[in-house]
Structure formats: structure tokens, C-alpha cells
Amino acid sequence: MDLALNETQLMLQSMAREFLANEVPKTSVRAIDESATGFSAELWRKIADLGWSGMAVPEEYGGTGNSLTDLGSVFEAMGEVACPSPLLAQVLAAHLVLGVATLDQRATLLPVIAMAERLFAVAITEPEYGWGAGAVQMRGVIDGDQVTMSGTKMFVPYAEVTDDLLVLVRTGDGATPEQGLTLVKVERDAAGIDVRRHQGWFGEPVCQVTFADARADVIGVPGEAWPGVEAALDKTVVLLSAFMLGGTQAALDMSVEYSKTRMAFGQPIGTFQRVQDLIIKALNDADAIRWTTYEALWKLDEGREDGPLAASMAKAVASEG
């Protein structure tokens, strides 16, 4: 048993922190958030140059083949400064291609993802709203290596600025909702695709994407995408938990510091029990997120059977405290 990050992870994390401290000050987080697209191509290029977009991609495909825990240590550091970037979407794309695509498709797509030559956004959720395979009802008609599809996807991060979209569509009906789902790839600029940014209070730019007889390339085996999609989501969701861990810990550290210096009624507010209760709640949340997330990362890296359960638990804890 050893609950510490290993040498590599500690190094990755400290390099990440140094980079983020220099390149992503609070002012730039706000500026990017308030910009027209919520995206900074300049920052994304720097992140890609650090190799982070290739961490989830095996070496044979031009990446560095890092473990999820390695990635988690970087996402934790990013969360500490609320670093705005499409890295999570790009990593999800890598996991999807690894989980669903044919060998040939892997060989062409993964190096592009790893080097961030193109940006990938992933479209799964639909207006009927729901999670899981059954919630994917947008229809696609298979035509050789291609699919013609129409319908709407919601809450697609970075769809406005992406180069490519990976879309999950229903191309058939099986005995269970898991059957008949196909992953496709299409250029965002292709005919029949309309992207509209959702307005509201989101941590990252999210969009509605409408397809009208758009033609896309089939990735992997038609109708059999779901198991690979689910596995890719499990792996990616736990990285989101790691990001939230960084954010929660940073908020906690700020609160502790503030409660020592902010005075009221002649004393630091941290001396009031009711303020302490709030801080202790945050401390418990942060530690609960930390250890459920770390354990989930470890279980997924080890290929444990209960890895997906641990990933969902970490996400539930990170989201709701």
C-alpha cells in the first residue's frame, strides 16, 4: 500500500503548477471565460506543446502512454487554477478512439489527437435529457463507411471552436438500448451542421449542435460502440473529478487563509465556530474527493472490475460534496 503520488506524478504535477502559475494567472482565466468563444488558441497550443494532449495516447500512436493517475495529477493542478482548456474533450476523444475505432482508424486519428493538430469535441447528450445508452436517440442511417444523420446534441463542450466532432448516434435497434449505437466523426464545418453556443453560467463553453442530413464517417464497428464509449466516459469522468479536486482544495486553502486574516468583531472570523463549520465541511469534501478520486484512478489503471463503480462514485462525490 502506498497512497502517495509516485516520482513521475509529483514531477508532472510540479511542472504543471509552474507552467500554470506563469501562463494562467487569474486575470487570464477571467479573460478567456469572458471572450467570445471561451477558448484561447494560444494557451491550447502551449498546453499541446507540453505534451498533455498526448498523455492518454499510447507511444505507438505518437503519444506518451501515461497512466490515468499521471493524467489525474495534471488535471488536479489545472483545477487548482481553474485552467480553461479543451484538454478534457481531447482526452475523451483519445479514449473513445482507443475504445471504439478500428486499428487503421487509430493509426490515423490518434497521432492527430496526441499532437493536437486538430481539436476534437464529443457530442452525446440529447435534448430529451438523460444519461446512458437509452438516452441516445438521434438517428443515423448507415451507408457504407458513412452515416447520414439528423437531430440535435446538447451541452457539447468546445463545439464552436473544434475541428472535428465525434458523435454518438443510433443506427439500429437491438434488444437492449446499448445495442445499435455507432460512433461517427465529422468535420465541424461540414454541410448540414449548425453550432450555437448555450447561454448561461457554465464553467466552459458548451454548445448545441444541430445536424440536418449531415454525413459522417463511421468509427469502429457500426452498432457496437457503446461498451467502448462507456469505458471512455468512465476514464474521462474521473479526470474531471481530479480537476474538481484541485478546485475544491484551492477554494479550501483560500478560505482557511481568509478566515485567519479577515477580522470581524475584533477577531479573525476563523475563530467563530459557525465559520469553522463551513471550513470543516469544505475540508471533508476536499478529502472525500481526493481519496475517492485517487482510488478510482488507481482502480482504472489496474483494470479492476469495480473501477467504473469507483469512477462514478468519485464523480458523485466531486459534484455534490
Partner 1 sequence: MDFEYVYSAEQDSFRREAREFFDARVPTDRRGPVDPESLDDDTFAYFREVHREMGARGWLYPTYPKEYGGGGMTADHEMVIEEEMARRQIPKHFSNGLVLPSILVWGTEEQKKRFLIPLLTGEETCYQTFSEAHAGSDLAAISSTAVRDGDDWVINGHKLFITGIREPDLMYGPFVTQPDGARHHNMGYFLIPYPTPGVTLTRMTLMNGPGQLFINFDNVRVPAGNLLGGDDEGWQVAATTLEQEHGGRGAAFSPDEDTQELLAYVRDTKRNGVAIGVDPTVRLNAVDNYIESQIHRLLETRNFWMYVTKREMTYHGAQSALWRKEFKVRNAIREATIMGPYALLDHTDDAPVAGGSPEVRQRRNVAWTHPGGTPEIMRLIIARRLGISRTRERAAPTPSTATSHTG
- Residues whose CB falls within 8 Å of the CB of residue 159, separated by 6 or more in sequence, listed in order: 121, 123, 165, 188, 195, 206, 207, 209
Which listed range, 77-85, 176-184, 239-247, 310-318, lies at the site for partner 1 (CB under 8 A)? 310-318
Of positions 2, 7, 34, 104, contacts partner 1 by CB under 8 A: 2
For position 315 contacting partner 1 by CB under 8 A, the verdict is no
Least separation in angstroms between residue 276's CB and partner 1 is 4
Which listed range, 4-12, 58-66, 149-157, 242-250, lies at the site for partner 1 (CB under 8 A)? 4-12
For position 277 contacting partner 1 by CB under 8 A, the verdict is yes
Least separation in angstroms between residue 264's CB and partner 1 is 13
Footprint on residues 282-301 left by partner 1 (CB under 8 A): 283-284, 287-288, 291-292, 294-295, 297-299
Least separation in angstroms between residue 8's CB and partner 1 is 11
Cα end-to-end span (Å), the chain:
26
Q: State the burial class of residue 38 (Cβ atoms within 10 Å of its Cβ: 0-12, 13-18, 19+).
A: buried
For position 276 contacting partner 1 by CB under 8 A, the verdict is yes
Query: Is the CB of 75 or the CB of 158 nearer to partner 1?
Result: 75
Least separation in angstroms between residue 3's CB and partner 1 is 5
d(CA 17, CA 12): 9
The backbone region for 65, taken as left when phi is positive above 0, alpha when psi lies in -120 to 50, beta otherwise, is left
Least separation in angstroms between residue 135's CB and partner 1 is 17
Which listed range, 88-96, 167-175, 239-247, 255-263, lies at the site for partner 1 (CB under 8 A)? 255-263
Strands 267-268 and 263-264: antiparallel
Q: How many CA atoms lie within 13 A of 155 on its CB side?
A: 12
Least separation in angstroms between residue 2's CB and partner 1 is 5
Q: Considering only CA atoms, which of 232, 230, 238 is closest in space to residue 96? A: 232
Q: Which residues pair with 150 in a beta bridge?
A: 139
- Residues whose CB falls within 8 Å of the CB of residue 251, separated by 6 or more in sequence, listed in order: 282
State CA 239 to chain mean position distance: 7
Q: Considering only CA atoms, which of 71, 68, 52 is closest in space to residue 113? A: 52
Length of the chain: 321
Which listed range, 19-27, 132-140, 203-211, 253-261, lies at the site for partner 1 (CB under 8 A)? 253-261
Q: Considering only CA atoms, which of 29, 160, 157 is closest in space to residue 86? A: 157
Query: Could you tell me how many residues of this chain bind partner 1 (CB under 8 A)?
Result: 35
Least separation in angstroms between residue 170's CB and partner 1 is 26
Of positions 13, 40, 53, 69, contacts partner 1 by CB under 8 A: 69
Least separation in angstroms between residue 5's CB and partner 1 is 6
For position 260 contacting partner 1 by CB under 8 A, the verdict is yes
C-alpha cell at position 75:
488535471
For binding to partner 1 (CB under 8 A), which residues are involved?
1-6, 9, 69, 256, 259-260, 267-268, 270-271, 273, 275-277, 279-280, 283-284, 287-288, 291-292, 294-295, 297-299, 313, 316-317
